[in-house]
Amino acid sequence: VGWGVTRGAIAEAVHSCQDQGLKVGGMCFRIVYPLPLMLQEIFAKFKRVVTVEQAYGDEYKRTPLAMFLRSKTLVDVLPMVSRATGRPISPMTIEEGIKEILNGNS
């Protein structure tokens, strides 16, 4: 899950993973408030919900988007790729993060 400038990188990484036969999905918001209706039900269809965002966070300190989504949906949302470097997140970085999660390394 992402929003804003991460949209293109997320879409490219998800398509690449799907082309490799991995069962993944992606979602990007144009705006984060108000959240789409039925978001909790959508999240419930997935084994794990993670965020991609340009803000610092990890499994101990959640990123702003992960915390916001968790507070509004009560679904455990974890940051998968988070950076506060000011540089764009590449599709390859997202794809590597997806594969780490699917291999149980995260």
Q: Which domains does the chain have, with CATH numbers?
A: 2-102 (3.40.50.920)
- Phi, psi at 72, each rounded to 5°: -90, -25
| pLDDT of 62 | 82
H or E segment to which residue 29 belongs: strand 28-29
81 burial via Cβ count (<10 Å: 0-12, 13-18, 19+): buried
Q: Within 10 Å of residue 25's Cβ, how many Cβ atoms?
A: 12
List, for residues 43-86, the tens digit of each pLDDT value: 999 999 999 988 877 666 788 999 999 999 999 998 888 777 77
